[in-house]
Amino acid sequence: MKIIHVIGARPNFMKAAPVARALSSYRDLNQQIVHTGQHYDVNMSDVFFRELGIPEPDFNLQVGSGSHAQQTAAIMQRFEPLVLEQAPDLVLVYGDVNSTIAAALVCAKLGIRTGHVEAGLRSFDRGMPEEINRLLTDQVSDLLFTPSEDGNRNLEREGIAPEKIHLVGNVMIDTLIQMLPAAAQYQPNNLPDAYALVTLHRPSNVDDVQWLSTMLEMLTQISHEVPIIFPLHPRTRERLRGLERPTSNSRLQLCDPLPYLAFLALQQKATLVITDSGGIQEETTFLQVPCLTVRENTERPITISMGTNELVGREVTAIRSAVGRILSGGAKSGTVPPLWDGHAAERIARIITAGL
Ligand code: UD1
């Protein structure tokens, strides 16, 4: 059996790593990794391969950045001849980025079996590019691996045949559990006892310069109560150009994107996290660290119903008051969702190889 993993953007890497590892213990199974090149900076890509022990990609499509249509089309054009030549039995795609839908669509048209890891998540907000990618990828995939029960319900409601859907748990948490001992050893320099960790990169937050500038001002205010560490995604760094940045001795510390271990160590010890990322809502739920999500909705509702996540929307007063409540001991408590247990990738591997 031959399997191709298609990955391209930062959040794909920690999802594919445990699946590739779980599959490597099966005989008569050959795996290849295709990197689309959607993310290409060393600190957005290479560093994760090294830290997570992902084998070097067999192919790199080197598509780079562009509009959604340009990026998606470039991946499709470059992936089609490759997949035809390699003739895999199954292509695995991950998450909800442009690389995910591009590869899934190519395979669907060629009649190549496709598995979607992290299927079924829905924000019900079609203004989000990722929601379009999720809906379409799930419609054309043959195997749908969901992280939580809500994913199964969404897929069944959309008419997906139940036998295609497999509730396996959360592969991102597989990686987190595996890396936790190393993260616990990790000692970032000059780390304050209490601090907030911030990440913001969604177009809905950072492409609106007025709102981005309001948030920067808000974070400066919050940093008087608790110091802030804010690693900047390249999109956010770009948008901050031209806005007044905090001075180097400010308690609002901006830095480059961090490698996986350093970021996990910071999450684990944080007093609170403020984010608009999908994966970080899940990681903080597992770590039971309070998380404020600066969005109007989430495709990961289980992090709210069971976990430590709270939606605060684009509302300065709501964010300030939630931060105040957490700092004065009123953080929401949570529990870890079922099957977020470090074994999701093994379940996927068992399903894929059944009958081998
Ligand atoms: C993409 C995903 C998003 C995911 C995020 C994680 C889509 C639609 N979006 O958003 O779901 O949460 O990755 O990071 O697939 N850039 C660099 N270096 C890089 C990569 C990007 O400088 O290595 C800059 C470029 O200016 C680029 C911009 O970041 O135009 C945005 O990159 P892109 O891949 O289009 O989307 P992300 O915002 O990273």
Tell me the per-residue pLDDT of 95-109, one tens digit each, with 9 for 90 and over: 999 999 999 999 999
Spatial CA neighbour of 116 closest among 135, 129, 132, 131: 135
pLDDT of residue 291: 98
CA of 351 to the centre of ligand 1 (A): 32
- Arithmetic mean of pLDDT over the chain: 97
Q: Is 276 in the pocket of ligand 1 (CB under 6 A)?
A: no
Assign 190 to helix, strand or coil: coil
Please identify every residue annotated as catalytic: 201
Sheet holding 252-255, edge to edge: 252-255, 228-231, 196-199, 272-275, 291-293, 309-311
pLDDT for 356 beyond 80 = no
pLDDT of residue 233: 97
Which residue has tokens 């990686």?
A: 175
CA 268 to chain centre: 17
pLDDT of residue 287: 98
pLDDT of residue 112: 98
pLDDT of residue 201: 98
Q: Are residues 267 and 307 in the same domain?
A: yes
Tell me the per-residue pLDDT of 293-331, one tens digit each, with 9 for 90 and over: 999 999 999 999 999 999 999 999 999 999 999 999 999
pLDDT for 263 beyond 80 = yes
Q: Is 256 in the pocket of ligand 1 (CB under 6 A)?
A: no
| Residue 115: band (very low, low, confident or very high) from pLDDT cuts 50, 70, 90 | very high
- The whole-angstrom separation of Cα 356 and Cα 353 is 5
Q: Are residues 137 and 11 in the same domain?
A: yes
- The percent of residues above 70 in pLDDT, for the chain, comes to 99
CA of 101 to the centre of ligand 1 (A): 15
**Going by CA atoms, what residue is nearest to atom 18 of ligand 1?**
41
Residue 58 resides in a domain:
yes
Per-residue pLDDT averaged across 22-47, rounded?
A: 97
Q: Are residues 291 and 191 in the same domain?
A: yes
CB 222, CB 195: distance < 8 Å: no
pLDDT of residue 132: 98
Residue 131 resides in a domain:
yes
pLDDT for 355 beyond 90 = no
Q: Are residues 14 and 158 in the same domain?
A: yes
**Residue 251, C-beta contacts closer than 8 angstroms, at least 6 positions apart:** 223, 224, 227, 228
Q: Are residues 24 and 147 in the same domain?
A: yes
pLDDT of residue 146: 98
Q: Is 100 in the pocket of ligand 1 (CB under 6 A)?
A: no
Looking from the CA of residue 41, the nearest atom of ligand 1 is: 23
pLDDT of residue 100: 99
Q: Are residues 20 and 104 in the same domain?
A: yes
Tell me the per-residue pLDDT of 141-182, one tens digit each, with 9 for 90 and over: 999 999 999 999 999 999 999 999 999 999 999 999 999 999
| Residue 246: band (very low, low, confident or very high) from pLDDT cuts 50, 70, 90 | confident
Q: Is 238 in the pocket of ligand 1 (CB under 6 A)?
A: yes
Tell me the per-residue pLDDT of 219-231, one tens digit each, with 9 for 90 and over: 999 999 999 999 9
**Residue 126, C-beta contacts closer than 8 angstroms, at least 6 positions apart:** 132
Q: Which domain holds residue 139?
A: 2-169+340-352
Q: Which helix (H) or strand (E) holds 165?
A: strand 165-167
Residue 229 resides in a domain:
yes
Long-range contacts of 186-191 (CB under 8 A, 24+ apart): 186/261, 186/262, 186/264, 186/265, 187/265, 188/262, 188/265, 188/266, 191/266, 191/269
Q: Is 98 in the pocket of ligand 1 (CB under 6 A)?
A: yes
- The whole-angstrom separation of Cα 37 and Cα 9 is 8
pLDDT of residue 195: 98
Per mean pLDDT, which range of 108-122, 241-255, 309-323 is the poorest? 241-255
DSSP designation for 61: -
How many folded domains does the chain comprise? 2
- The whole-angstrom separation of Cα 282 and Cα 243 is 31
Looking from the CA of residue 238, the nearest atom of ligand 1 is: 26
CATH number at residue 322: 3.40.50.2000
Q: Are residues 185 and 162 in the same domain?
A: no
- The whole-angstrom separation of Cα 179 and Cα 158 is 36
| Residue 30: band (very low, low, confident or very high) from pLDDT cuts 50, 70, 90 | very high
Q: Are residues 124 and 190 in the same domain?
A: no
**Going by CA atoms, what residue is nearest to atom 15 of ligand 1?**
97
| Residue 71: band (very low, low, confident or very high) from pLDDT cuts 50, 70, 90 | very high
Which residue has tokens 């940093």?
A: 223
- The whole-angstrom separation of Cα 236 and Cα 207 is 8
CA of 232 to the centre of ligand 1 (A): 12
CB 75, CB 61: distance < 8 Å: yes
Tell me the per-residue pLDDT of 179-228, one tens digit each, with 9 for 90 and over: 999 998 988 888 999 999 999 999 999 999 999 999 999 999 999 999 99
CB 61, CB 36: distance < 8 Å: yes
pLDDT of residue 249: 79
Supply the pTM of this predicted model. Answer: 0.97
Residue 283 resides in a domain:
yes
Higher pLDDT, 245 or 50: 50
Q: Are residues 134 and 70 in the same domain?
A: yes
Q: Are residues 26 and 50 in the same domain?
A: yes
Q: Is 47 in the pocket of ligand 1 (CB under 6 A)?
A: no
CB 8, CB 75: distance < 8 Å: yes
- The whole-angstrom separation of Cα 189 and Cα 276 is 26
Q: Are residues 164 and 211 in the same domain?
A: no
Q: Are residues 118 and 213 in the same domain?
A: no
Which residue has tokens 């939630």?
A: 322
pLDDT of residue 190: 84
